[in-house]
Chain A
């Protein structure tokens, strides 16, 4: 297999996903099969080829940067985890003993 369980666990950590042993094993099998198919790209010589990252070559048309009023209270209705107008999360810094 191209990817083993340990690599999957590292990827899971990087992408903030949980993966127990059983899930990691299944994912390793599936991703290895996909990556095996992708080996076909090895036969192409891409020396001197410029990578293509964007969908269009047109120069992007940038609009004027101006402030547009927006009612922020609407956005805050998107979660119930708000206290004193701030988003609540678990402690980030441990309490001093």
Chain B
């Protein structure tokens, strides 16, 4: 076998599989070998070696038909927050460390139906609460570009799996930046879809008005293929949109590829006032490089205002903690999950199980959420935040009257050192400054890699779009990839 898998897109792999230049078993074996080789990165919580190989053999045996999905036979991984029937779903928490899924998440089901090989489930911040992937019951995920640094969170295991070539694509969830931040820290692409584009059925709930599953990949076409596979209405999640979804990969391949100039006329807004506090000068420099590349390609730029964006972080940490405190009330140690043995009565069973089953960050957020929802503080914090959220959304609606997309850095800095920010939660939260406005406004955002900083760590940028207009973001990202192929398709370890 001499096929260069790690530098191949899903489409190239699909072609090779169909032409029998490589077998699905060989492809799966290669990824499984790499997972073993790089297990110290701690990207996986569980790996399904035997099962994956059996599924791969079944794909080889049954072959391919004309209408098969491009994901058929492609090894993928899932953040350990997606239910996968008969397999553990731990959410990287002691609370769910023995929990076996009794049903499939819609994302899982759609992947299985398309013949993708789910090779394992990725490490993450406990219950998706974190920006660094240091808050996991299974230990921190290491950044493959520098193992002394964080991978970013909360979908850090998924990002590292893709970046290090331990799966072709992965799926994470994004509540306040959780696919985009780790993508930025590890030099890959990630999409936070419009709220309601991808089903949340079978995804362990953190903050229900913000959570959204999203794909992660090493290049734009893989990201599009991964998004196509799971997007669209789901009757099991009433918050998914009934709007028709059209294949983005098909659009890129059939309409954009070769006709790039036609799609380079859109206007990109830049909120200069928002690019100040806490932004690393090297990230700003890279931001300007991206502007130059897009400008050269034919895009126009316009200064825009997002006057309430600077309040987004405060609004986010009121709303996400309030929703989390409510969602996580279900973990009481009775029907499933960790049950403590240190109690004397029913209330003691609840509090002891929760205190010993949850990690520190989760307990901190439950406490903060309970506080902002409690009598005497509800109006001052929760209602106020919900009103400012409306203003943040209006700012975007106003901005999109004059531009088609908005460009922002994904993170204010490159990946920081492990342990650097864990003792000060507020400092950690500031890492989310550029990602949380997107979730509050329910809009889509595509994060892509740009240059590396002087610390040899990746920098990422994001394009924000109108509601349900992921297509425009993909068009721009595709053009960027054509202009700067050196920014994409990087595998962090050999």
Contacts and interface: CB of A to CB of B under 8 A. Distances in A.
Interface of A: 3, 7-8, 10-12, 14-18, 27, 30-31, 33-35, 37-38, 40-41, 44, 46, 49-56, 58, 60-63, 74-75, 77-79, 81, 87, 89-92
B391 A30 contact: no
Interface stretch (B28-36, B268-276, B335-343): B335-343
A49 B390 contact: yes
Main secondary structure of the interface of A (DSSP, over half): loop
Given A46-B391, A58-B243, 8 more contacts: A14-B370, A15-B370, A16-B350, A27-B364, A33-B424, A56-B241, A78-B336, A90-B345
A55 B345 contact: no
Interface in B250-305: none
Given A46-B384, A55-B209, A92-B346, A16 B332 contact: yes
B245 to A, nearest CB: 14
Task: Kindly list the 5 A-B residue pairs having the minimum CB-CB distance in the complex, ordered from nearest.
Answer: A51-B386, A55-B195, A78-B336, A46-B387, A52-B390
Contacts of A58: 196, 241-243
B195 to A, nearest CB: 4
A91 B349 CA distance: 11
Contact of B374 (A14, A50, A61): A14
Contact of A81 (B317, B339, B348, B371): B339
B335 A78 contact: yes
Contacts of B354: 15-17
15 contacts: A3-B371, A7-B371, A8-B367, A11-B370, A15-B329, A17-B351, A31-B371, A37-B313, A37-B314, A46-B388, A52-B386, A61-B242, A62-B238, A81-B334, A87-B335
Contacts of A16: 329, 332, 347, 350-351, 354
Nearest to A39: B314
B195 A56 contact: yes
Contacts of B128: none
A34 B393 contact: no
Contacts of A55: 195-196, 208-210, 212, 239, 442
A11 B210 contact: no
Given A44-B311, A44-B388, A33 B426 contact: yes
Given A16-B354, A79-B339, A41 B195 contact: no
Interface string B424-435: 111001000000
Interface in B425-477: 425-426, 429, 442
Interface in B343-381: 343-352, 354-355, 358, 363-364, 366-371, 374, 381
Nearest to A30: B425
A41 B391 CA distance: 12
Given A11-B367, A56-B442, A87-B334, A34 B425 contact: yes
Contacts of B196: 55-56, 58
Nearest to B373: A14
B493 interface: no
Nearest to B336: A78
Contacts of A87: 334-335
A33 B428 CA distance: 12
Contact of A38 (B209, B241, B318): B318
B9 to A, nearest CB: 32
Given A30-B425, A89-B334, A50 B371 contact: no
A14 B326 CA distance: 11
Contacts of A78: 99-100, 102, 335-337
A68 to B, nearest CB: 10
Q: Which of A7, A38, A87, A91 has the most CB of B within 10 A?
A: A38
B238 A12 contact: no
A76 B393 CA distance: 44
A74 B177 CA distance: 35
A12 B367 contact: yes
B184 interface: no
